[in-house]
Structure 1
C-alpha cells in the first residue's frame, strides 16, 4: 500500500518491515528462472555492520593522519567530526534508499526511478563500477608490494603476484557471499585492531596537549579554529568515510534488508567515527603535530614512541589485511553492480546469470576478473583511481537528488527508515560543494581523467543504446523465458 512521503518537518522514523520482502523488492530474478536461482540471502545485522565498517576503514587512514595534522594541527579530531556529519547526510540518504528499494545496483535503480533517464542511470552505475575496478587493480599491486616487503615470495615479480592475488580474490567471490563475509570480518577485525592498538598504547598521553591548537599563519595555517580551516580539514578527511555506499549493492543477499541495511550503515559510520576521532587524539597527544605531519608512517611513529616493544613490521602485516579487505569488498560491489544493471536491462543479459550451486553472479565475476587484470597490468594507476573516487561525489549528488524527487512523489511508498527531506537536500549540496572545491585546488589531473571517463561511459552508452527495463516488464520477460 502506498504511503505518503514524510513532510519536511518530520523526525527520522524507524518502521517495522516484514522479514519477507515483496516480489518487486526482491527483484525479477528472486524466484529463479532461465538465469539460475536467486542470490543467497545470508547476510545478517552483524555481518552487515562489519561490511560497512570494513568498507570505510582502510590502509589510507594510516597516512591520512599526517596530512591532516599538517593542516589542522592538534584539532584533527574536529576535521573528522565535521567530515562525519557531512558524510552522514549521504549515509542517511543511502540508508533510507536501502529500506525503500533493497536491490543490487541500488544507486542506478533509484536514479532511473527518480529521473527516468537511462543515460544518467548508465553513468551512475558505471561510474561506481569504475571506482571499484580501479581500486581492486590498485590494491592488488599494493598487496604484491607488501608481500615482497615482508619477505614473502621474494624475487617474484610484482605483476605476477598481483595477478595471483586477483585469481585468489575472484575464487573467493565466486565461492559464495558467506565466505566473503567471513573473510571481511577477519580482515576488518585486524585492521580495526591496528587502529585500536594505537589508541590503547597512547591513551595514557591524553590530556597532555591542547586539542584546539592549530598551525599558526607562519606555518601556513589560518590561525585558530575557523570555518575555513574546518572546511579544509573536512575536505581532506571526508574520503575516509567513503565506502558506506558499497552496502547497497549486496541488498539482494541481506536477510530482512529493509531493517538490516539501514542499521548496518548507521552502526558502521558511528563505529568508524569513534575510531577515527580517538586515533587522531592519540596521534597528536603522543607525537607533536609538526613531527606527525612529516613522518613517513604517522601511526607507526605513534606506536614506536608509545610502545617501542611493538615490532614496526607488524603494521605492514596489518596494512596487508586492510588492503585485501578493500579489494575484496570492491570486487563484490562491482560484480553485484554488473548483475543488478543487467537485471535492469542496462548491461548484457548474460551478466545476470547466477551459478546454480554457489548462488553468485559467476559470469559477472569472471568478466570483471579479465577487466581488473588488464588494469593491474597497466602498472601504477593511482591517478586513475583518484579520478574515479572523484566521480563518487558526482554520484552522491545525483543519488541524494533522486531521493528528494522520490520523497516528493505521492505514489512512492515509504521505506522502513525515513529521513526528513532536508537530509538528502543538504547531502547533495555538501557533495556538490566538495566536488567544486576539488576543481578549485588547481590540480586538474584527476578532474580531467574523471571527465574523460565520463565521456567514455557516454560514448559506450551511445554505441550500446541499452533500454532500461522496469520491474514489471522484467518479471514478465523472465516468466516467458523457458528454463534451461
Structure 2
C-alpha cells in the first residue's frame, strides 16, 4: 500500500511545524523584533517559489531520493551535484539536531524544571527512538504521523484564537521592528522553518500517480503551514514582549499560552510541542534514509553508506544518527539555526537553477524559477553579511560546512580514481 496525498502532506506539515514555530520564534525575534510575522510571510513566499520548482521536478522524476535525484538530473554526476548533495545531507542532519534540541528543552521545562542535563537526555532519547521507528519501517507509522499532525493543528488553532482575544496591538507596532537588514536576514530563518516541505519530495516513489499527487501534497503542506506560522507569530508577539520571547526562546510558544490559559495552557502547548518536534525528527530521518540510499546508489556517496549494518539497518542511517547526536549535544541552538539557514539557501539556489535547466522537460514556467533564484540569492547575501557583522564565529562555521562538502566530493573522487 502506497502513501496517500494526505499522508505525504502531513509528513511535510509535521516536519515544518515541528522545526518552525516550536523552535525558531526566539531566534527570529532576536533578529526581527516583533516583525517576525512578516519574516514568516516573506519566508513563506520564498518557500512557495522553491516549492513550485521542487514540485515540478518531483512530478517529472518521482523517486525516494527526492532532491538528490533532481540535482543529478539537472547537473549530472559532476562537482555541482555532488557538493550540493553533501550540503543537502548536512542540512538534514542540522535540522534534525535542532528539532531534537527543542524537544529536549520542552520536555525538561515540563518535567524537570528546565534541567540542562535532562534536556540532553531527552534530546538523545528522541533521536534514538525516531531512528528505531524508521529502521523498523512500521506500517502504522503514516497513521501515527497523521494523528500527531491533526492533534497539533487543532491545539495550535485554539492557541491562535485565545491569543488573538488578548492581543495587545501596541506590542506589534512598527516602532518595535528592527532595521531592514535585520528583517531580510530573519527571512533566512523563516525559510529554514519551512524547510520541511522538502521531505514531501522523498515520497515520490511511494505515492500513487506521483505526477499529480506529489505537487498536490507539496502545495497542501505549504498552504496550511505558512498561514499558521503568520497567525502564531502575531499571537505570540502580540501577547509577549520581544525580550520575553527571546528569554524563553526554546519554549516561547508554551509561555505565550500561559497568560490566556494558565498553567494548563503551558502544559498543553508543551506536550503539543513535544509531539510536533518528535514528528519532525521522525520525518527528517525518513528523508535522510531516502537520500543516503540514492546518493550511495549513484556513487555520489561511498558505497559503504548504502550497505547493511549488523545492527540498525543501513550504515548510512547509523552514521547519520551518530552525527545528529553529536551536533545536538555539543552545538548551541543559535549556531545550529544560523548555519542550517545558510546551507538551506545555498541548496535551494542550486536546485532552482537545476529546475530552470530542466524546465522544458518538467513543463515549469520560467518566471517563478527566475524570481525564486533572485530572491534566494538576495536573502543569502544579506544573511551572510549580517552574520559576518554580528556573529563571525557562526560565519566561519557556515563556510566550514561548504568547505567540508567540497572536501568530501574531492576525497570521494580521489578514492574512486585509486580503486577503479
TM-score interval, smaller chain? 0.7 to 0.9
Whole-angstrom CA distance in 1 between matches of 2:78 and 2:58? 21
**1:425 maps to 2:370:** yes
* CA distance in structure 2 between the partners assigned to 1:155 and 1:212 by the alignment: 32
Structure 2, unmatched stretches of 5+, are: none
What's the counterpart of residue 82 of structure 1? 42
- Give deviations 1:171-217, integer Å, cap 9, x for gaps: 100111644323322332343334222112234357x73798311xx
1:364 to 316, 322, 347: 316
* 2:64 aligned with 1:104: yes
Question: Over aligned residues, Cα RMSD in angstroms?
Answer: 3.6
The answer to whether the 8 Å contact 1:72/1:214 transfers is no
The whole-number CA distance in structure 2 between the counterparts of 1:246 and 1:367 is 20
Distance 1:329 1:98, change over 3 A: same
CA distance in 2, matches of 1:353, 1:179: 26
Helix, strand or coil at the partner of 1:136? helix
For the pair shown, which has the larger CA radius of gyration, 1 or 2? 1
Within a 5 Å distance, the mapping from 1:68-147 to structure 2 comes to: 76-147=36-107
Tell me the distance in 1 between the aligned counterparts of 2:29 and 2:341. 23
1:176 corresponding residue in structure 2:
137
Flag the 1:116–1:320 CA change in 2: closer, same or farther, 3 A.
same
Deviation at 1:332, TM superposition (A): 1.1
Instruction: Note the 1:369-384 alignment, pairs <5 A.
Output: 369-376=321-328, 378=330, 380=332, 383-384=335-336
> What secondary structure is seen at the aligned counterpart in 1 of 2:358?
helix
Alignment of 1:197-236 (within 5 A): 197-205=158-166, 209=169, 213-215=173-175, 221=178, 231=184, 234-236=187-189
1:452 aligns with 2:415: no
* TM-score normalised over the length of structure 1: 0.73
1:70–1:316 CA distance, 2 compared to 1 (3 A): same
Higher helix share: 2
Instruction: Select 2:380's aligned residue among 435, 450, 458.
Output: 435
Aligned equivalents of 1:444, 1:354: Cα separation in 2: 41
- The whole-number CA distance in structure 2 between the counterparts of 1:157 and 1:302 is 23
| 1:400 and 2:345 are equivalent in the alignment | no
Paired residue secondary structure (1:253)? coil
Seen in structure 2, the aligned counterparts of structure 1 residues 179 and 444 have a Cα distance that, compared at 3 Å, is farther
Q: Residue 453 of structure 1: CA displacement?
A: 1.9
CA distance in 2, matches of 1:128, 1:330: 12
Number of residue pairs matched by the alignment: 408
SS of 1:345's partner is: coil
Change (3 A) 1:311 1:89: closer
CA distance in 1, matches of 2:242, 2:400: 38
Normalising by structure 2, what TM-score? 0.83
CA 1:389/1:204 → structure 2, altered by over 3 Å: closer, same or farther? closer
Task: Identify unmatched segments of 5+ residues in structure 1.
Answer: 1-40, 469-484
Q: For 2:156 and 2:264, how far apart are their aligned partners in 1?
A: 14
Q: 2:193 aligns with which of 240, 258, 262?
A: 240
Asked whether the 8 Å contact 1:42–1:253 carries over to 2, the reply is: yes
Contact 1:390–1:447 under 8 Å retained in 2: no
Query: Shift of residue 290 of structure 1?
Result: 5.5
